[in-house]
């Protein structure tokens, strides 16, 4: 498998006008000391996108959730950015997710497999989303998407024969 390319499933979980984000220590640039990203990550071979996002929410936030509709898709092509990523290329699919009733409260203490540079799990007010350092820089677009959601039809059709 080519390590330069991967597909990721990411979660958008909103509760009481707050969005669930994962905080990371900046390495090596250290612009602000830390940055944020949506919970989520690489999809494993033979794993459905929705299974991956639920797994990653458990690993990184310690929460049990159900994957909802696909909200958007974005690419990151490292060579197009001044980045240590070099020629890495990823495609990220962002799903709206809901915590299951009885789920543990998302926190570092409930994570089952936090990322090596992960430093926190935070409910960030939507009103602060444009201010924080988020990699990749999807803050404004994400906020617009949450304010103006797409039509109810889910564009993700799953694994089809």
| Beta carbons within 8 Å of 44's beta carbon, 6+ residues apart | 52
Buried b (16+ CB within 10 A) or exposed e, 77-86: eeeeeeeeee
State pLDDT tens for residues 84-126.
556 788 899 999 999 999 999 999 999 999 999 999 999 999 9
Tell me the C-alpha distance between 140 and 137, whole Å: 8
Give helix then strand counts, H and E, for the chain: 2, 8
Q: Is 111 left (phi over 0), alpha (psi -120 to 50) or beta?
A: beta
Lowest-confidence pick of 2-11, 20-29, 103-112, 126-135 = 20-29
State residue 136's pLDDT score: 79
State residue 33's pLDDT score: 75
State pLDDT tens for residues 38-72.
999 999 999 999 999 999 999 999 999 999 999 98
């Amino acid at each position: 498998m080519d390590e330069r390319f991967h597909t990721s499933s990411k979660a958008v979980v909103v509760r009481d006008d707050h969005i669930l984000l994962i905080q990371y220590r900046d390495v090596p640039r250290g612009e602000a000391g830390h940055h944020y990203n949506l919970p989520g990550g690489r999809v494993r071979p033979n794993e459905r996108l929705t299974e991956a996002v639920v797994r990653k929410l458990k690993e990184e936030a310690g929460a049990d959730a159900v994957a909802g509709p696909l909200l958007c898709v974005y690419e990151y092509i490292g060579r197009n950015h001044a980045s240590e990523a070099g020629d890495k290329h990823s495609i990220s699919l962002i799903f709206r997710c809901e915590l299951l009733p009885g789920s543990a409260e998302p926190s570092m203490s409930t994570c089952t497999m936090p990322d090596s540079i992960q430093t926190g799990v935070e409910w960030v007010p939507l009103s602060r989303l444009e201010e924080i350092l988020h990699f990749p820089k999807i803050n404004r677009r994400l906020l617009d998407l949450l304010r103006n959601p797409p039509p109810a039809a889910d564009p993700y059709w799953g694994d089809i024969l």
